[in-house]
Each structure stands twice: as structure tokens, then as C-alpha cells.
A and B are shown apart, each in its own frame.
Chain A
Amino acid sequence: MHLLRFLTAGSVDDGKSTLIGRLLYDSKAVSHDILHAIERQTRNKANGEIDLSLLTDGLRAEREQGITIDVAYKYFHTPKRKFIIADAPGHIQYTRNMVTGASNSDLIIILIDARQGVVEQTHRHSLVAKLMGIPHLVVAINKMDLLGFDEQTYYRIAADYQRLMEKLGIENATFIPISALNGDNIVETSANMLWYEGPTILQHLETVEVENSQEHPELDARLPVQWVIRPGTDELHDYRGYAGSLRSGSLKTGDRIRVLPGGQISSIKSIEIGQQEIPEAHAPQAVVVQLEDDIDISRGDTLVLAQDYSPAVTQDLEADLCWMHERDLRVGDRYLLRHNSTSVRAVVKEIRHRVNVHTFEHEQVESLGLNDIAQVRLRTSKPIVFDAYQRNRATGGFILVNETSFDTVAAGMLHEWIAEPLAQADFAI
């Protein structure tokens, strides 16, 4: 059985929580005792029938204010697939939460209120989807019941959205007309919209080709070392295992590898999972690798195939940044940059521009505030080993950490790096 991780994006009144509640309820993922608790709360609020949104709003403040503040993770399965939902709030002040939920998602459902059509926040949600490189996009046009399930409205909104896709360079989307409140086209095909012949939300989730975000066979092997296993016992005196998760690609016994950023060459003696030797490992497996040669490798180093020159190794970075903290970012600020299994210091060299999340226009700014999205240039204290985020989500993302509070203050998506001929010569075999 495969796993699909998805995110829902919508605003307070778009029916996002209702949609998730409906998926959980109709796929029977909600236990009786939890339903009873919700019935009790719904009565407390005195607003009639069961409020499915209460299934997702877990914190006291959320229930009191009737809004989702934080990302919540929900789980359900059908006979075909297991699902993890990242339920993120839709309002602009929670863009960072949406970015967080998007970082691990294979699919995003963008909700549009059929009465409103494509609005400002649809622009922002779509920008985040594009920026975060989510492979699959579903546009769910909700509240069709309030418009008499009108076919023309649906097509008009879909056409509007396609113009937005062009603007952002989004290539594919699946459009589904729904009513989350009544369950139309959520699990069962709606009898109210016979003009729509596509899948329901659940049918689509169950069948969409999952190219799991961490399983790109065409990408080359990246194994950042997290931990070195040295038992130091008599019988395993010389054992040295490099433990880490294969972020992309695959490795097999006998492969010639190169250690980055150092550049040493060796070959793979064995690959193990749970002390069982396996001939070949694939992303995202967590493995232990032994090498033929005794070379100095520690946490933070990355193993790649010896003939693969595609990973960038540099201290000068260009990236899209989502700023996530109340205290603003300025040129010259210093942070800790965490990427794969390494942590280095970084300084902000330039804010190229901020992206207006509603018009996508580039704006010149002196500083970045909470929820801003911008393109920046950074320099790190040591070279880091990465791939451009839009090519490889597993090795192109980083976070910035405040050096004194240790708060996570930004998410970054690295851009392509053009290798200098000289730099590559340094790593020649």
C-alpha cells in the first residue's frame, strides 16, 4: 500500500476544515467517541448539525475562535492508500504554516468558494504551491450547492484559474466541483452535477500517480551522513558504518562514490538496513554504508556517485525565502543555516526583491517581514552540497535559525548554481 501526503489550502470560509472532516467522516476514520465529543461541542455552540470542522481544530484557542491556527496532521486510509493530511490555515497571516505543510506534501487541494471565484488568496496559495514544488495540484470549486450546481460558473472559474496557472508556470491541475458540506463529489459521485464526468476528490487521491516526493529514480544518489557507527568491540574493531537517509536516487554495492565537500573517492563495500545486507538501496531508505577505504567522513558530509558532477558545492547561495518570524530580516543579518545533516553560519548579502503574493510583482525592499516571500543571496561559512530545489525537493531546501533565540525563522528553496570551471577541476578524479 502506498502513502500519499497532501495539503489543503483555503481560507476561513472556504470550507477547508469541512472538506477534511468530510473525508475523514466518509472514509470512516472517525471513531464514535470522537464523534460524540464533537456532537457535544456542536450543541455547546448551538449551531445545529454536526460541525465537521471541529475534527481538525485541536487547540482550545482554535475552537474558541473557530479558526485553524497551526498545521494539524490527520490520518486516514482506504483499501487503496494511506493518507496523511497537513491541514494548514489559509489566512495571509499564516502563510508560514502553509509553507510548512506544503514542504512534505505530494499534492495540494486549493479550495475556491464558487460564489467568490478566483480571489487574492487563491493567488497566494497557488504561488506557494509553485514555490514549494508540490507535484500535483487539485482545484476544488466548493459550495456548488449554493449556486444551484451551475455548470457555467464552474467552467468560468476553471478558465480564470488557467490564466493564473499560465502566469505562474504551473503546468497541470485537476478541477473538481464539490460541496464539502453535503458531500457532493467528495467520496461519492454527486447526483447533482451529472454534467461533471471526472473523479471525486477521494477517487483522485486514490489513483493519482504518486511520484513520492522523495523517490525520484532519475535523480542521482545523495546520502548525507547523519551519524558514524563505530562499535569499537573486539569482533567489530574496524567496523565503520556511515548512517544516513538516501535523499534521492539509489546506491548499490560496488558503486564508486565521492565524498562532498571534501572530494575523497572510495567504493561501497556494503549497504545495510537493520544489520541486514541489501544489494541496492533507494530513496528514502535509511541505511548504513561501509566503504572500501578508510577515509575521514563525519556528520554533514554527503556521499554521491563518483561520476556525478551535478550537485552544487558552494558558499554563495541564491534562494527563494519565506520569512517566518515577527522580527524582520535585513541585509547583513547572520543566521545558522540548516541543510540536510549539516549546520553552517550564513550572512544575508542581498534582498533581490520581494514577491507581491497577490500580483506576483517584484518589489524592492530593505527588509523582510513575517510571511514575506522574497529572492535573496546568502553566503555561508563553509560550502554546502545541494541541488536546485525545483529539480530535487529532497536536497534543495534549507531553514534559517536565529543565532541566539534558536527559533526557526525562514524556509529557503535553493536556485540552480552554475559551476565555475575551476571549482569543478578541484573535484576531478
Chain B
Amino acid sequence: MDYLDHLEAQAIHILREVAGQFERPALLFSGGKDSITLVKLAEKAFRPGKFPFPLVHIDTGHNFREVLEYRDQLAAQLGEKLIVRKVEDTIKRQRLQDGTGKFPSRNALQTYTLLETIEEFEFDACIGGARRDEEKARAKERIFSIRDEFGAWDPKRQRPELWDLYNGAIRKGENVRVFPISNWTELDVWNYIRREKIELPSIYFSHERECVLTPGGQLLAVTEHIHLDDTDTRVNRSVRFRTVGDATCTAAVESPATSLEDIIQEIIQTKISERGATRLDDRASEAAMEDRKKNGYF
């Protein structure tokens, strides 16, 4: 068996455990390649039946238009329920401080909307597309990750996770984040997308785009969500997105890659990690991700 078959079998196994162990699970869908892969795996796990969970999108309001179109089209095509909750509404309701500055990020604010949504629908498990190779705090997180009523991750109180036995039993108020593709790398995801001929939002492929050079030397798409002035350098470049998140904190990479084959070749040769190349939010400190997770972040 090829290693992709092993990874696929493990992920399907985990999705079915979620279905078997929880009352009200949900699949967190961002429109990025990892959650699109999860949807494909859910089809393999549950078709010809319906998914035993809805898709949930936490909409930061800073999304790329192409991704939102893709999301709606996919949900319609699948015939599955899609729940959308907006960070904008949480900001108003909870009187939160919106992101400020030139590149106002709502990355941290998403957590508030996620927790509100979990409470509203009483979700006991949220499936997400996080991978352990993304970041070193994630490398330590369990596939079934127990969160307290504040959504907080406590790395010191993690349950041992053995064989393919997942313990999803929780107390009232707690919930579980489930990561079926924990053991996949970025390259594995791309190889799987190619093998399964999965369609992706167009921004993953090379296109001309007006960008701005950030102080850190990264290329950020010019959108209505960022506030530029005369000191900023606007450039037109052939770019693609290696990861898709908030338009204000997910940088593009210069690339001529127009096919999955090209992208896979680029990733094999690149010397910069996925998050390092594209995320403005992890650079704050060595433990930025660990700290966010302790506060309920995905």
C-alpha cells in the first residue's frame, strides 16, 4: 500500500470515530486546501449516506472572494448543510476591538466567533484540518484534543493517545477538536489533491495580482481590508497562495505554477516552510501558536 492510502485510511477511521462517539459534531470549513481535503475524506467515510455533521465556516469578513464562491458552490454540490457565522457580528455583540493598523488581522478574533458558534449549536466536537508539520506546538497536540469551556488547550493535561483508540468522552462544557489529517504534511495534502483530482479555489494557482510589499518582505494582496498610504510599494506580480486564510495576514508567494504538478515541484524544492512563507501572525514570538491555542484558537 502506498503511504497516501495509509494516511487516507487513518483519516477516514478518525472521521467515523467522531460520528460514532459524539452527539453533535461539526466540520470546520475554511475553503482552504486542508479543509477541502477533509470534505473529500468525509465523502469517502460516509457516502452514500449524508454527513453526520454540518460544515461550519467562521467568516472573518476578510476572505478572498474566490474562496467564498468556492465554499457556496461546494456546499450546494454536496447537498450538505453549511452554517456561516461572521466575526463582524461577534465584534458588535461582544463589543470587541477590531484589528487596527495597516493590516488589521481578525485571526485572533475568530476564536470568539468559534466559541460562540460552539455554544449556539452545542457542538461537542469540531473537526479541523490542522496538521502537525505546520508548527511545533501543533506537533504536540493530540488528534482528539480536549478543550475546556473557554476552548483552551492545556498541553500539560493532554490524554495519552494510543494505537487507533480515540477517547472522546468529555464532561459538560468541554468540547473536542479533532484533527484527522494530523499526520499529513503539506506535500502529502498536495499529492492527495492531485491523486483524487480535487478541485481547488483558483487563487491556489498562479495569477496576476496587485500586491503590496510588507515591511517583512512578504507580498500581501491589495484588498479593501488593508489600509495603504503613499509610503507603500504596490507591485503587480504573478502569484499564488500557498495557504488560504485571512486576506490581511496570509501572504502570496511569487510563482508561475499553474498546475498541481507545478505546485508539487515547487513545494519539493522550496526552502521555506508553509507558515513561514505565508503567515504574518506566527512571527510574533517563538510560542505564538502555543499561546493562541491556550486561548481557544484552533
Chain A residues close to B by CB (< 8 Å): 1-3, 31-34, 37, 41, 56-61, 63, 69-75, 77, 82, 84, 96-97, 99-100, 103-104, 212, 215, 226-227, 229-231, 236, 239, 241, 243-245, 273-275, 282, 284-286, 299, 324, 336, 338-341, 393-394, 397-399, 401, 405-408, 411
Contact = CB atoms under 8 A, between A and B. Distances in A.
Contacts of B182: 73
Contacts of B19: 226-227
A398 B165 contact: yes
B3 A34 contact: no
Contact of A245 (B7, B164, B271): B164
Interface string B131-150: 01101111110000000000
Contacts of B167: 338, 399, 401, 406, 408
A48 to B, nearest CB: 19
Contacts of A60: 286-287, 290
Given A3-B3, A399-B165, A405-B171, A286 B16 contact: yes
B9 A285 contact: yes
A196 B12 CA distance: 45
Interface in B106-165: 132-133, 135-140, 155-156, 158-165
Contacts of B165: 338-340, 397-399
A74 B138 CA distance: 11
B5 interface: yes
B160 A411 contact: yes
B12 A245 contact: yes
Contact of A59 (B3, B140, B170, B188): B140
Size bracket, chain B contacts: 35 or more
Contacts of A212: 1, 6
Contacts of A97: 160
Contacts of B99: none
Interface of B: 1-3, 5-10, 12-13, 16-17, 19-20, 43-50, 52, 132-133, 135-140, 155-156, 158-165, 167, 169-171, 182-183, 185, 187-188, 270-273, 276-277, 286-287, 290
Given A70-B158, A73-B183, 19 more contacts: A1-B2, A33-B273, A33-B277, A56-B136, A59-B155, A63-B286, A73-B132, A100-B160, A227-B52, A229-B46, A231-B50, A274-B43, A275-B47, A284-B10, A285-B5, A286-B8, A286-B45, A399-B165, A411-B162
